[in-house]
């Protein structure tokens, strides 16, 4: 009887050892083959929407830049009575252009950005409203005659894919005391 119990213990031990080896192999397979792919897939397919309203109050118009995973569109929005919005640029983004925006957006610390950046010494001038949607995250940033480094990087990326005559003009300004 005792012999059968020892054999049973040895059998259970071997069975447990085989399960541990199988589990270790599965973990190794996941980390070496599947994990890197799982990490890169959401990044490549992450949905985003960028809307930039570049407002020129003195001339009573604005340009609205709408960028998503597929394309970029620029709309002229007239601020006078009777003026209609008109599409002035439309381009399908290449995969490399889309990847640039995805990489850029993933580097912007949305939670650390303020809602407003403004220079209280200037009442009129350069105004922009930036709306960012990345997956389920949304952020609206108002910029009034102020410089914000992350937005400068975003504007430069947009300017690389649009014609010169509709580029976003943005100047680095010194902070006033």
Q: What is the pLDDT of residues 33-74, one digit of tens each?
A: 544 444 443 344 578 999 999 988 777 889 999 999 999 999
Which DSSP string do the residues of 118-150 spell out, in sequence order? Answer: E-TT-SSS-EEEEEEEETTEEEEEEEES---HH
pLDDT reported for residue 44: 43
pTM of the model: 0.71
Which DSSP string do the residues of 40-62 spell out, in sequence order? Answer: HHHHHH--EEEEEEEEETTTTEE
C-beta neighbour count of 28 within 10 angstroms:
10
- Domain assignments of the chain as residue spans, ordered by start: 1-45, 46-166
Q: What is the pLDDT of residues 101-128, one digit of tens each?
A: 989 988 888 888 999 998 878 777 789 9
pLDDT confidence tier of residue 30, bands split at 50, 70 and 90: low
Average pLDDT value over all residues in the chain: 80
Quick check: 147 pLDDT over 50? yes
**Above pLDDT 70, what percent of the chain?**
71
Quick check: 11 pLDDT over 50? yes
| Across 13-23, average pLDDT | 63
Query: Domain 46-166 adopts which CATH fold?
Result: Mago nashi protein (3.30.1560)
Q: Which of 103, 111, 109 is nearest to 150 (CA)?
A: 109
């Amino acid at each position: 009887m005792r012999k059968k119990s020892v054999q049973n213990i040895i059998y259970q031990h071997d069975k447990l050892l085989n399960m541990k080896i199988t589990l270790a192999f599965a973990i190794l397979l996941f980390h070496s083959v599947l994990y890197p792919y799982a990490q890169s897939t959401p990044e490549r397919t992450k949905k985003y929407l960028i809307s930039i309203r570049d407002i020129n109050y003195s001339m009573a118009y604005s340009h609205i830049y709408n960028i998503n995973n597929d394309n970029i569109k620029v709309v002229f929005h007239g601020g006078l009575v009777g003026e209609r919005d008109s599409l002035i640029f439309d381009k399908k983004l290449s995969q490399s252009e889309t990847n640039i925006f995805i990489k850029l957006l993933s580097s912007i610390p949305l939670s650390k950005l303020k809602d407003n950046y403004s220079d209280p010494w200037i009442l009129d001038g350069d105004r922009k409203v930036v709306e960012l949607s990345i997956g389920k995250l949304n952020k609206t940033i108002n910029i009034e005659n102020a410089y914000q480094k992350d937005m400068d990087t975003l504007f430069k990326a947009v300017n690389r894919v649009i014609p010169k005559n509709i580029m976003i003009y943005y100047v680095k300004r010194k902070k006033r005391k």
